[in-house]
């Protein structure tokens, strides 16, 4: 692709492209002229037009910049400044981020830090106010809280588009006063406010109540029938990678009209982002599952822009923001050139702008692990699990791990309890422990996890939805202590251990959930952790999220918080948490 400098009143001229209209599906020969960050023409202009910068498109397709309507920047482990060039390189020029990870750590102050740290980036970063912090009040300890008053204040910010995913869908359906007050605040903010949903497998009367409360989207994994019911009722579907399958695409294609929907990323770790892509990766998965390429393009340009009320982007049109992606074909959608706001920001999958350091605002979020005073390490004996009651064999409530998704089913396991109350779990189950990280008291809870075949190994993480307490899962106390100590040493992060040896770690010193390094360095560390997890026997389709969601109290079916084992559907602690004698 040839590029050069010229003169004239235009800032940028992209010559010889096939401009894709997401309104008609046509690919029309064009030269795209840009001035002051806006498109001024899409006509073939001939050779007499000059511009300060000229790019030869070489007959490539020109698409609108990709718009991600539902995602979490913190899930990339990157700050906004480090995330922006990595996402732009893959064609994503606009995101609507829900910062509920940092909100669970630091409340409104964390959200405002994200707003400040994303100001002035070449990536357009909009936000949705976290609606459920903590996700289920009373069942876990979080570092921050977002209530109706905080929602009202944050909704006034010009880059805030609405209310983030309403994760406490059971609270909405049952009329919980706290979430009702938050939704009322959003409604009073006016028409521009969108209310995002989180409602796995919610159907029938409960779904209607959820939507009647003002929730307009869902992005969770659902059955094909549940997705069609939601689309039929007018819910805007946001399909992420784990939702895309041939049967769903076929079911949507069988409808008389293909409903509007968006492709979204939700959570993408840095190594996946750098090696495989962002929204372009999700689009490739959708096309491979049978979605027509033009439908995929519309689902990450036109539809999400209209849904978010961003009428100045999402299509190539005179007067609109000059966000565009050049690619060789519509099936792979691999960006060869990316323009954001009229500026060339990436070429051939790599950013062209110089990296920016982490914003000074993040200095206040270091040293955020407030464990017991003087805590420098963990000992294996601390991961002994003791329960009240008489000794003997007991049928203990447990979680059942699944290798393909983040659901942990309700299960039971028979374990021996010694005279001192110690449960003899090694060799019979893995153990999950969640340790509260905010007060210095280190309140914790433990539960068995079934389904993992690994020995003398563990993973520890402070990236643990939703409250991001210290979560440790392992098959031996020695490995759990080693992994937890490694995380403590870096001020937060993810670590993998076999026995007393730490195999890999990803430092996340900013609030325990983000790195202060660039995307390439974080991607390398994340890939090393991923390889180490596989080497010790933790093999999962999405290993980072699998571990992180063991404590996600709104994800089916049974989860563990720092306060106890939770029945997600009942929104209550599991009865008989320490088992029944045999």
Among residues 476, 479, 480, 460, which one has the least CA distance to residue 548?
460
pLDDT value, residue 47: 74
pLDDT value, residue 8: 58
DSSP character string of 176-240: -HHHHHHHHHHHHT-TT-EEEE--TT--HHHHHHHHHTT--EE-S---HHHHHHHHHTT-EEEE-
Report the distance separating Cα 75 and Cα 291, nearest Å.
27
SS3 content of the chain, % helix, strand, coil (to 5): 30, 30, 40
Q: How distant is the alpha carbon of residue 470 from its chain centre?
A: 19
Question: Are the C-beta atoms of residues 457 and 474 closer than 8 Å to each other?
Answer: yes
With tokens 């991961």, the residue in question is 383
Q: What does the chain come to in residues?
A: 582
Write the DSSP symbol of residue 425.
-
Q: Find the farthest-apart pair of alpha carbons in the chain and give their distance in angstroms, rounded.
A: 91
DSSP bridge partners of 497: 458, 502
Which domains are present in the chain?
Answer: 3-62 (2.30.40.10), 65-315 (3.20.20.140), 366-581 (no CATH)
DSSP bridge partners of 92: 66
What angle do helix axes 80-88 and 100-117 make, rounded to 10 degrees?
80
Question: Are the C-beta atoms of residues 222 and 243 closer than 8 Å to each other?
Answer: yes
Among residues 141, 49, 139, 101, which one has the least CA distance to residue 572?
139
Report the distance separating Cα 488 and Cα 461, nearest Å.
9
Among residues 279, 260, 261, 278, which one has the least CA distance to residue 269?
278
Q: Is 311 exposed, middle or buried (0-12, 13-18, 19+ CB in 10 A)?
A: exposed
Annotate 332-345 with three-state secondary structure: CCCEEEEEECCEEE
- For each of the chain's 582 residues, which pLDDT tens digit applies? 555 444 558 999 999 999 999 999 999 999 999 999 999 999 888 777 888 999 999 999 999 999 999 999 999 999 999 999 999 999 999 999 999 999 999 999 999 999 999 999 999 999 999 998 998 889 999 999 999 999 999 999 999 999 999 988 888 999 999 999 999 988 888 767 889 999 999 999 999 999 999 999 999 989 999 999 999 999 999 999 999 999 999 999 999 999 999 999 999 999 999 999 999 999 999 999 999 999 999 999 999 999 999 999 999 999 999 999 999 999 899 999 999 999 999 999 999 988 887 779 999 999 999 999 999 999 999 999 999 999 999 999 999 999 888 889 999 999 999 999 999 999 999 999 999 999 999 999 999 999 998 999 999 999 999 999 999 999 999 999 999 999 999 999 999 999 999 999 999 999 999 999 999 999 999 999 999 999 999 999 889 999 999 999 988 889 999 999 999 988 899 988 888 888
Look up the pTM and report it: 0.94
Q: How many CA atoms lie within 13 A of 447 on its CB side?
A: 31
Report the distance separating Cα 430 and Cα 294, nearest Å.
46
Question: Are the C-beta atoms of residues 160 and 119 closer than 8 Å to each other?
Answer: no
DSSP character string of 83-103: HHHHHHTTTEEEEEE--HHHH
């Amino acid at each position: 692709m040839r590029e050069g400098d010229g003169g004239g009143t235009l800032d940028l001229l992209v010559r010889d492209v096939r401009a894709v209209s997401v309104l008609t599906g046509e690919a029309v020969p064009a030269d795209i002229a840009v001035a002051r960050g806006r498109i001024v023409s899409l006509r073939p202009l001939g050779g007499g037009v000059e511009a300060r910068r000229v790019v030869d498109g070489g007959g490539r397709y020109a698409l609108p910049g990709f718009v991600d309507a539902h995602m979490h920047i913190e899930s990339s482990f990157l700050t906004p400044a480090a995330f922006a060039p990595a996402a732009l390189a893959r064609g994503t020029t606009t995101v609507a981020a829900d910062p509920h990870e940092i909100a669970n750590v630091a409340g409104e102050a964390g959200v405002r830090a994200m707003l400040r740290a994303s100001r002035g980036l070449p990536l357009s970063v909009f936000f949705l106010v976290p609606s459920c912090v903590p996700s289920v009040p009373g069942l876990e300890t979080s570092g921050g809280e977002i209530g109706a008053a905080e929602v009202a204040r944050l909704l006034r910010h010009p880059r805030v588009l609405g209310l983030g995913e309403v994760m406490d869908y059971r609270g909405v359906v049952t009329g919980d006063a706290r979430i009702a007050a938050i939704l009322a605040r959003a409604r009073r903010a006016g028409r521009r406010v969108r209310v995002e949903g989180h409602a796995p497998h919610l159907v029938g009367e409960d779904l209607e109540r959820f939507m009647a409360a003002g929730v307009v989207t869902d992005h969770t994994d659902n059955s094909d029938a549940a997705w069609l019911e939601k689309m039929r009722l007018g819910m805007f579907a946001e399909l992420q990678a784990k939702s895309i399958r041939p049967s769903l695409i076929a079911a949507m294609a069988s409808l008389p009209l293909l409903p509007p929907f968006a492709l979204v990323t939700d959570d993408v770790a840095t190594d996946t982002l750098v090696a495989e892509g962002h929204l372009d990766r999700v689009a490739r998965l959708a096309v491979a599952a049978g979605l027509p390429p033009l439908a995929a393009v519309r689902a990450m340009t036109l539809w999400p822009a209209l849904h978010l009320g961003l009428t100045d982007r999402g299509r190539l049109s005179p007067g609109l923001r000059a966000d565009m992606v050049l690619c060789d074909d519509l099936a792979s959608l691999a960006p060869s050139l990316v323009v954001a706001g009229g500026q060339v920001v990436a070429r051939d999958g790599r950013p062209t702008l110089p990296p920016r350091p982490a914003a000074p605002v993040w200095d206040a979020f270091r040293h955020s692990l407030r464990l017991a005073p003087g805590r420098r390490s963990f000992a294996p004996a601390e991961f002994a699990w003791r329960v009240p009651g008489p000794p003997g064999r007991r049928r203990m409530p447990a979680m059942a791990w699944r290798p393909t998704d983040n659901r942990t089913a309700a299960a039971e396991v028979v374990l021996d309890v010694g005279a001192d109350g110690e449960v003899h779990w090694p060799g019979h189950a893995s153990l999950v422990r969640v340790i509260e990280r905010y007060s210095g008291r280190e309140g914790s809870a433990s539960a068995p996890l079934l389904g993992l075949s690994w020995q003398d190994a563990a993973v520890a993480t402070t990236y643990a939805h939703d409250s991001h307490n210290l979560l440790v899962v392992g098959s031996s106390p020695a490995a759990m202590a080693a992994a937890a100590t490694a995380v403590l040493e870096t001020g937060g992060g993810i670590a993998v251990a076999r026995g007393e040896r730490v195999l890999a770690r990803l430092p996340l010193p900013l609030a325990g959930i983000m790195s202060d390094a660039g995307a390439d360095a974080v991607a390398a560390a994340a890939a090393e952790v991923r390889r180490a997890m596989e080497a010790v026997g933790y093999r999962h389709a999405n290993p980072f999220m699998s571990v992180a969601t063991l404590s996600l109290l709104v994800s089916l079916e049974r989860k563990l918080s720092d306060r106890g084992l939770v029945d997600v559907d009942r929104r209550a602690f599991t009865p008989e948490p320490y088992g029944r004698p045999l």
